[in-house]
Amino acid sequence: MKLTASIPHLKRKAKLAARSAGLPLHAALDGVAREEGFASWSLLAARHTCSISARELHVRLRPGDLVLVGARPGQGKTLLSLELAVEAAKAGHRSVFFTLEYTMRDVLDRLRAIGVEPSGLEGRFEVDLSDAISADHVMKALAEAPRGALAVIDYLQLLDQRRDNPDLATQVRRLKAFAADRGVILVFISQIDRAYDAGKKSVPDWSDVRLPNPLDLALFDRAVFLNGGEIRLSEAA
């Protein structure tokens, strides 16, 4: 179904309607969506997205980048991060998926969900399931990684869950210095705060990143936020 105007124009229309009628923004967005033939704004956004594919995103990344991939549960942040690792491997680079969350079976299931068999990546894709994943562990594992290698860390908020690990801010600063020195790309899967309201903002942004412990988000070079089928690339915080 073709929209009568662009997504940004429709959002501006909803904001004007919310102000003039004294409505909550999410109600005004739903009203605009109904005018376009959709039951709600979230459905409209899911069908008409400003998306970027993993391949397009990988091409934009530079050696040394720290990338945050943030979304609420079930929105596809792990699948997208795995796709980035696969794209790196297809491009001839080493890629590693460090996870404190998944089993090997989980990883294989998700790879198959995106149509990938690890055996087809010619040994360039690895999975690290260690319970000791931290900045030190990642740097040791990638010590000999060539420039352009890409590693996914699943996930950011778990890095300092063990009391014997440094605080999160210290670990990310060390990983940033390491990435810049070695020319590797580090992708951090990140939780989004439960207070995020998709009715008010179709896609999360930097302000919605869940930070139980202090962390300067300016350490990241860019972020990818997902919600309702929409994927949005954001430059440094």
Whether residue 122 is found in the same domain as residue 32: no
202, part of any domain: yes
| 139 to 59, 72, 97, 226: CA distances (angstroms) | 24, 28, 13, 28
Least confident of 41-50, 56-65, 109-118, 173-182: 41-50
Domain count of the fold of the chain = 2
Residues 29, 101: one domain? no
What pLDDT, in 10s, does the model give residues 197-226?
Answer: 988 898 999 999 999 999 999 999 999 999
Q: Which residue has the tokens 């376009």?
A: 36
- What's the rounded mean pLDDT across residues 126-152? 97
Distance, in Å, from the CA atom of 65 to the CA atom of 110, rounded to the nearest integer, reads: 25
Q: Is residue 2 part of a domain?
A: no
pTM of the predicted model as reported, rounded to 2 decimal places: 0.79
Mean pLDDT across the chain = 91
Q: Are 133 and 77 in contact (CB under 8 A)?
A: no
Task: Give a yes or no: residue 1 inside a domain.
Answer: no
- What are the backbone angles phi and psi of residue 26, rounded to the nearest 5°? -65, -35
Pinpoint the alpha helices (H) of 1-74: 7-21, 25-35, 41-47, 54-60
Q: Give yes or no: residues 39 and 148 share one domain.
A: no
| pLDDT on residue 40 | 82
Q: What is the pLDDT of residue 46?
A: 56
Predicted local distance difference test score (pLDDT) of residue 167:
96
Distances (CA, A) of 114 to 119, 121, 163, 223: 14, 14, 36, 21
Q: What is the mean pLDDT of residues 46-60?
A: 75
User: 170: which residues sit within 8 A by CB, 6+ positions away?
Assistant: 135
Query: How confident is the model at residue 44, as a pLDDT?
Result: 72
Contact 154, 69 (CB under 8 A): no
- Please tell me the least confidently modeled range out of 15-19, 85-89, 163-167, 233-237: 233-237
Please indicate, yes or no, whether residues 193 and 101 belong to a single structural domain of this protein.
Answer: yes
How many helices (H) and strands (E) in the chain?
8, 7
Same domain, 110 and 169: yes
In this structure, is residue 191 part of a structural domain? yes
Q: Name the percent of the chain lying above pLDDT 90.
A: 68
Q: Which domain holds residue 140?
A: 54-235
